[in-house]
Amino acid sequence: MIKPVVIVGAGPAGLACATRLAKNGLTVVIIDDNLQAGGQYFRQLPPGYRAEPDAKLLRETKRVGILFPVLRDPLVTFLPSTTVWSAHDPLTIDYAGPKGAGRIAAAAIVVATGAQDAPFPFPGWTLPGVISAGGCLNLAKGHGLTPSGKVVVAGNGPLVLVAAATLAAAGAEVTHVIEAQPTWRVGVAMMRGAFLSPSLLFKGAGYRARLIAHGTHFLTGKMVSRAIGNEFLEAVEIASVGPDGKPLAKSSMRLKTETLVSGYGLLPGTEFVRMIGCRMVRDPLIGGWVPERSEKFETSLANVYAIGDGAGIGGVEVAVAEGNLAAGTIIDGGESDAKARRSYAKLNRFRHILSGAYLPKSKLSAATDDTIVCRCEELRLADLKAAVIVDDKHLRRVKSSTRLGMGRCQGRNCLSSASQLLGLDHEDVALPLPRMRPPVRPLRLNDIIKNQSIGPARVPDEANAFK
């Protein structure tokens, strides 16, 4: 039996990779935990929903028509709403979903798990009315829902403009956009990278122009210091960014609003690559801890590839390019991709220039000792500080003694911010985050044991798996 190429993730990177593989006659299995393919960028309306022809929502349709037909290719099996929860070995994955549970032995695995919002705790961030930028975009694209009343969008990074422009186009009253970086710094970076990717430059300028026409006010060099309200959000307090990355209290001002969209960056989805033992490296420009990759996107494990935002934040253009190039590597070692690699090199350079412009001199932080960091376990920053031991400054110790990251999200919404707030995310840390153990995501016990062997116990991840 011919082993398939298994692609974990049906976003832009995964679909681009599958499209080229199928065109070249390879058998492909695509697994995604969402109901539909597309990832965050190409998120689709649910079955039965229909967008009006004049719907005012920024949605790209051209590449949807190019990438989505692969799901109907006879060489491709698509398993939606399905969780890849474990790996018997790096090339044998365990999955569970509505079509059943099972185990697949793969010729190669392509990890295209995308990204998530980087958590940014501040006083009041758990109030109803405070929502992440990525979550807000998902509601708008996937359900046609936008916040009512006044909306303030605040954060750091390109996603701030994307979220604000998308909401404004959909009819939301976006009153303010608060950016941590000064406009001039981002502008200089965009000019430096203009010749590398003119289309991305024009797209960013278009977002800003749309918001100006919408009547949105821009405030730069400022950040959220706290959200104010009793049972729900009533106002947001913002302040200038201090030299230490914290809000300057003396410069604070309040904005009345019903919704605060908070977007302080993205984090690569690395749970699966960490679980199977891929070596990790730290690159602040593309999201922090990411899998180490060769020039052909192969990880430290043979025939395991990592592409798209799950391997380093780069956006849809980078994701599609990496998916196409990874497929070329699997097909013929990438021998016919010289031109495509030159184009990718320009995109890659542009993303590093842009990311560098948004990288703050000091890490941004607005959390106080009373701020909840782990929402599942309701742990405050003070609780976590008390668990740090001088001679064992590692997040696994904090996790063991406080239950940090042991809730339903399994650390996705707290481990990275806790690591930063406690000063445990330096390059010299052997293990940046506690190891992932199966199941990677919560699922029913019946899904794990039904119709399959669990297999032998695995050796725990070794510290030297990280660099």
Q: Please tell me which residue, 80 or 65, carries the higher pLDDT value.
A: 80
The band of 76, judged by pLDDT with boundaries at 50, 70 and 90, is very high
The strands making up 150-155's β-sheet, listed across from edge to edge, are 130-132, 259-263, 150-155, 173-179, 217-220
- Return d(Cα 125, Cα 132) in angstroms, integer: 10
Q: What is the mean pLDDT of residues 229-254?
A: 94
Cβ–Cβ under 8 Å, residues 124 and 130: yes
> Are the beta carbons of 228 and 237 closer than 8 angstroms?
yes
- What does the pLDDT average to over 151-166? 93
Q: Is 217:175 a contact under the CB 8 Å cutoff? A: yes
User: What pLDDT, in 10s, does the model give residues 379-403?
Assistant: 999 999 988 876 566 787 888 889 9
Q: Would the pLDDT of 460 be above 80?
A: no
**pLDDT (0 to 100) of residue 63:** 84
Question: What's the confidence (pLDDT) of residue 372?
Answer: 95
Among 35-44, 110-119, 182-191, 246-255, name the one with the lowest average pLDDT. Answer: 182-191
Fold of 119-264: FAD/NAD(P)-binding domain (3.50.50)
| pLDDT interval class at 20 (50, 70, 90) | very high
**Residue 461 reports pLDDT greater than 50:** no
178: helix, strand or coil: strand
Q: Is the pLDDT of residue 257 over 80?
A: yes
Q: What is the spatial distance between Cα 14 and Cα 17, in angstroms, rounded to a whole number?
A: 5
Kindly report, residue by residue over 106-154, the tens digit of the pLDDT: 999 999 999 999 999 999 999 999 999 999 998 888 887 889 899 999 9
User: Over 80: is that where the pLDDT of 466 sits?
Assistant: no
Note the pLDDT tens digit of each residue in 401-414: 899 988 888 888 88
Which tokens in the block code for residue 191?
Answer: 């000019």
* pLDDT above 70 for 429: no
User: Mean pLDDT over all residues of the chain?
Assistant: 87
Reduced to 3 DSSP states, what percent helix, strand and coil does the chain have, rounded to the nearest 5? 35, 25, 45
Asked if residues 152 and 179 have their Cβ atoms less than 8 Å apart, the reply is no
Q: 431 falls in which pLDDT band (50, 70, 90)?
A: low
Confidence of residue 435 (pLDDT cuts 50, 70, 90): confident
What DSSP assignment string belongs to 26-72? --EEEE-SSSSSSTTTT--PPTT----TT-------HHHHHHGGGGG
Q: Count the neighbouring beta carbons within 10 Å of the beta carbon of residue 307.
A: 32
Please tell me the predicted confidence (pLDDT) of residue 267.
93
The residue assigned the tokens 């309701």 is: 378
pLDDT the model gives residue 236: 97
Percentage with pLDDT > 70 across the chain: 89
pLDDT score recorded for residue 465: 42
CA 424 to chain centre: 21
Q: Phi-psi bin for 121: left (phi > 0), alpha (psi -120 to 50), beta? A: beta
Number of H helices, E strands in the chain: 13, 22
Pick the range with the lowest mean pLDDT from 8-12, 33-37, 266-270, 458-462: 458-462
pLDDT of residue 47: 78
CA 150, CA 196: separation in Å to the nearest integer?
Answer: 37
pLDDT at 426: 62
Given strand 92-97, what is the order of strands in its sheet?
83-89, 92-97, 100-105
Query: Residue 260 forms beta bridges with which residues?
Result: 130, 152
Q: What does pTM read for this prediction?
A: 0.90
* Residue 169, pLDDT above cutoff 80: yes
Res 102: pLDDT: 87
Question: Rounded CA gap, 198 and 347, in Å?
Answer: 10
More confident of the two residues 125 and 463: 125
Torsion of the alpha carbons at 341, 346, 348 and 352, rounded to the nearest 10: 160
Cα distance between residue 90 and residue 304, in whole Å: 8
Residue 364, CB half-sphere, CA atoms under 13 Å: how many?
27
Where, residue-wise, is CATH 3.50.50.60 in the chain?
5-116+267-335, 119-264
Provide the CATH topology of domain 5-116+267-335: FAD/NAD(P)-binding domain (3.50.50)
pLDDT at residue 57 greater than cutoff 70? no
Pairing of strands 130-132, 259-263: parallel
Residue 423 pLDDT greater than 90, yes or no: no
Q: How many CA atoms lie within 13 A of 183 on its CB side?
A: 9
The answer, yes or no, to whether residue 340 has pLDDT greater than 90, is yes
pLDDT given for residue 99 in this prediction: 81
Q: Is the pLDDT of residue 458 over 60?
A: no
pLDDT digits (tens, 9 = 90+) for 297-326: 999 999 999 999 999 999 999 999 999 999
CA distance 406 to 416: 14
Lookup result for tokens 């939606």? 80
Q: Would you tell me how many other CB atoms lie within 10 Å of the CB of residue 16? A: 27
Per residue in 191-217, pLDDT (tens digit) is 666 666 677 777 777 888 889 999 999
User: Does 367 score more than 90 pLDDT?
Assistant: yes
- Amino acid letter, residue 120: F
